[in-house]
Amino acid sequence: MSGNTFTIAQRVILQVVRDRRTIALIIVAPLIIASIAGFSIPDKTSLDAFSPAILATLILFFGFLITGISFLRERTQGTLERLLASPISKMDVVAGYLLGLLGFALLQTLIMFFYMVYVLDINYSGNLWEILVFQALMGINAVCLGTFFSAFARNEFQMIQFIPLIIIPQIFVSGLFIPVDQLPVVLEWVSKFLPLTYGVEGIRAMMLQGQSLLDIGKDIWILVAYAAGLLILASLTLRQKS
């Protein structure tokens, strides 16, 4: 990463901090959704079993939404076009935005995790730092996913319309409600190409079975490849629009 990347990231952070609606979406909205999900499952054993998958889903959902809307605002306000017209490389531009928005995604992840542990009183196995590292990887994927799809939206309403197209289907085939191996063959095949499937699988293995990062290496490498691919696609999209 060059100095331009960190300069852009710093500008993005300041821009988001000044927006009270975005800050409320980052901090308050996930707590409300987590509370509804937590208190709607009165059985403690069931709550412990469902919490990891719910956490992974919320990380992807809110990370996608906040990143997509923030990146879209930069497009509509003309800030992104001015950056693209400068000598700064397009990869530096994308990396700068991702780095800036990733900080908020990680903050959101920490808030949701510790809220579910200390307020909803869920139990978990495994090492705390390893669980947080894996959640950070999920946050990176959410940011990359939101950045890429924001290129195809012209306003915030269109960005929100991507949720039932991109996020909701993943929720139903990721194993959150029904184990992947019990899905119809076609849906099971589709689930193998979706990041939330590996997010749910990995975080369940860590929080419910006490497995380490090394034990879920397959999930980690797939999520890393997914994030890298989306990063490259996002930079190519900028190149096409410039």
CA pair distance 42, 181, nearest whole angstrom: 27
Averaged confidence pLDDT in the chain = 86
Residue 90 in contact with residue 84, Cβ under 8 Å? yes
What confidence tens digit (pLDDT) does each residue in 26-55 have?
888 888 888 888 888 888 888 899 999 999
Q: Distance of CA 75 to CAs 19, 56, 78, 119, 202, Å?
A: 16, 28, 5, 39, 34
Q: Which pLDDT score, from 0 to 100, does residue 205 have?
A: 96
The one-letter amino acid code at 41 reads I
Query: Rounded to 5 degrees, what angle do the CA atoms 161, 112, 28 make?
Result: 65
Per-residue pLDDT of the chain (242 residues; tens, 9 = 90+): 567 788 888 888 888 888 887 788 788 888 888 888 888 888 888 889 999 999 999 999 988 988 888 878 777 777 777 777 777 777 777 788 888 888 888 888 888 899 999 998 899 988 999 999 999 999 899 988 988 888 888 887 888 888 888 999 999 999 988 899 999 999 999 999 999 999 999 999 999 999 999 999 999 999 999 999 988 888 787 654 44
Say which residue the tokens 């510790």 belong to. Answer: 114
Structure tokens at 177: 């409600």
Q: CB 93: neighbour CB atoms within 10 A?
A: 22
Residue 100 in contact with residue 11, Cβ under 8 Å? yes
CA pair distance 222, 130, nearest whole angstrom: 17
CA pair distance 15, 9, nearest whole angstrom: 10
CA pair distance 113, 189, nearest whole angstrom: 30
